[in-house]
Amino acid sequence: MMKHQQTAIKVAIKRNFYEEMKRNNTACESENDSVEKSVKPKDDEIKITHENDITPTDRTESTSKRDNYYEEMKRNNTAVGSEKSSTLPGPTPWPLFGNLFTKDGFLINIPIDNLALFKKYGPVFTRFLGQHQIVYVSGYKTIIQLLKKQGNDFVDRPNWIPVLQKNNRSKGLVWSNGDNWKTLRRLTLHALRDFGVGKTSVEEKILEEVKCLIKEFEKTNGEPVRNIKRMMLQVSCNVIHNIVFGHRYSHDDLKLNKLIDAFEDIFTGPPLVSPQGVFPILLIVTNLLRKSSKMKKRIKAGGYIQQYVTSEIDEHKTNFDENCIRDFVDVYIQNEREQCQQIEYGKKQLLSLIVDLFGAGTDTTATTLHWALLYMIQYPDVQLKSPGTLPRMAVQDTTINGYRVPKGAIVMINLESVHYDDTVWVNAKEFNPDRFLNDDKELINKEYLMPFSIGNRNCVGEGMAKQNCF
């Protein structure tokens, strides 16, 4: 990038920086730029201190109060883990309603402050959404144990969330388990590799987007840049579009922007593991109360995405040439024709897979690029809200840190707690890229950096996202 172009971008974005900050509702207190060295703790140095660091042998009032309830759960066919394991800490649930209305529950603490609950209850605690048990796991030691050493116990995604079951789509990659998941994951990794993640062809696609982005910045003639996040969405959506469908759009193209809007409409709203996600009736009631058309918007957006992706698939099927595999869709069609694996291929499956790639890859990358730009212009002492992770499910009765976790429990992994862990990082909330480099400018402490998660179900787009960002 030419120097004057860099300066033009910097000036344009800086003017709008505080506006962006306000929009993101983030405090910008100090411009302190202190360079701190991150320390790699030795195992025996690591101690996470909590107001209430509960262990299986250190039972609190809240856990003992719940014993009756758990006895009831046991009788209601909730599996019990090993003899040694013990009841998880967490707010006391009410029968039937679980922690919907209790202290530290789902309807009282909105939005949920995972870090505060981690501090209060310790690295493993539980809450009940009605009858459904959700286990929260925080702190790098426990997370590494869970994702690496016990990876197979928690490899599944929850398969009972009503909104996911209702929308009449195949489970795709993100929400499937077992052989279907294994096959689709292998196919996706293979196709992403073939279409050049780590190779020049994707680099070229990304560079093309960067050039367009620079032109957009130059067009502003020094005026404030209005919507950086939208620009980043155009970049990240286009890169995925190019890999999946083999072509891109100009950034002001109506089709590209309609597609971005549709995904925004689908993903804004309550998360899947929330009262509204688990009891859709609540969503309808809240929407009625707010007289909001959010639900309608979502349905319309889903319809548009389905129609758009289906027409791309049909076009690919018509022009398919096995001697000229152009993109991700062609790889899928080839696998389908050769019946490489015994799974149900078909249009519905491909549709879900493509929606997953756009859904999991567009906003995450755009948010990362957006924040990286803002940070590079001004190093503020602000909190970065990292993209959340996806829920897991216990495949069998098991334990975490000695606490029993029954088969079917949803497990929420709090990656943020690793990145904000003061026992790993000095002044963890300060923006300080130097903490990741040693004196020879080599990357250090990689094991405590896991935005893409780790283990056998980590992010399949990690390579692509890194290429996009760097």
Q: Show the tokens assigned to 79.
A: 């599996």
Which residues, at least 6 apart from 210, have a Cβ–Cβ distance to it below 8 Å? 1, 235
Residue 387 engages ligand HEM in binding (rule: CB under 6 A): yes
User: Among 376, 373, 381, 382, which Cα is nearest to 26's?
Assistant: 382
**Span from 45-53, 109-117, 211-219, 353-361 in contact with ligand HEM (CB under 6 A):** 353-361
Near ligand HEM by CB under 6 A: residue from 173, 235, 266, 333: 173
Near ligand HEM by CB under 6 A: residue from 183, 389, 414, 417: 389
Residue 356 engages ligand HEM in binding (rule: CB under 6 A): yes
Residue 460 engages ligand HEM in binding (rule: CB under 6 A): yes
**According to the annotation, is 324 in a ligand binding site?**
no
Residue 361 engages ligand HEM in binding (rule: CB under 6 A): yes
Residue 461 engages ligand HEM in binding (rule: CB under 6 A): yes
* Cα 319 from Cα 316, distance rounded (Å): 5
Residue closest to ligand HEM when measured from CB atoms: 461
Q: Print the binding letters for residues 397-436 with ligand HEM: x by CB under 6 A, - otherwise.
A: ----------------------------------------
Residue 272 engages ligand HEM in binding (rule: CB under 6 A): no
**Residue that is written with structure tokens 């073939």 in the block:** 194
Phi, psi values for residue 73, rounded to 5°? -60, -40
Q: Residue 438: how many CB atoms within 10 A of its CB?
A: 12
Shortest Cβ 7–ligand HEM spacing (Å): 27
The residue among 212 and 240 lying less far from ligand HEM, judged by its C-beta, is 240
Site for ligand HEM in 54-83 (CB under 6 A): none
Alpha helices in 24-154 (DSSP H): 61-75, 114-121, 140-144
Strand partners, 410: 134, 393
* Cα 248 from Cα 368, distance rounded (Å): 21
* Cα 105 from Cα 274, distance rounded (Å): 11
**Span from 82-90, 202-210, 218-226, 352-360 in contact with ligand HEM (CB under 6 A):** 352-360
Shortest Cβ 110–ligand HEM spacing (Å): 22
Q: Residue 310: how many CB atoms within 10 A of its CB?
A: 15
How far from the centroid of its chain's Cα atoms is residue 361's Cα?
9
CA distances from 464 to 163, 205, 210 (A): 29, 11, 15
In residues, how long is the chain? 470
CA distances from 74 to 10, 79, 133 (A): 60, 6, 13
Near ligand HEM by CB under 6 A: residue from 50, 185, 294, 407: 185
Near ligand HEM by CB under 6 A: residue from 390, 426, 428, 437: 390
**Span from 268-276, 280-288, 358-366, 372-380 in contact with ligand HEM (CB under 6 A):** 358-366
Residue 350 engages ligand HEM in binding (rule: CB under 6 A): no
Residue 459 engages ligand HEM in binding (rule: CB under 6 A): yes
Residue 364 engages ligand HEM in binding (rule: CB under 6 A): yes
Total binding residues toward ligand HEM, as defined by CB under 6 A: 25
Alpha helices in 345-387 (DSSP H): 346-377
User: Among 461, 469, 432, 455, which Cα is nearest to 149's?
Assistant: 455
Binding residues for ligand HEM (CB under 6 A): 173-174, 185, 240, 356-357, 360-361, 364-365, 368, 387, 389-390, 392, 451-453, 457-461, 464-465
| Binding site residue list for heme | 459
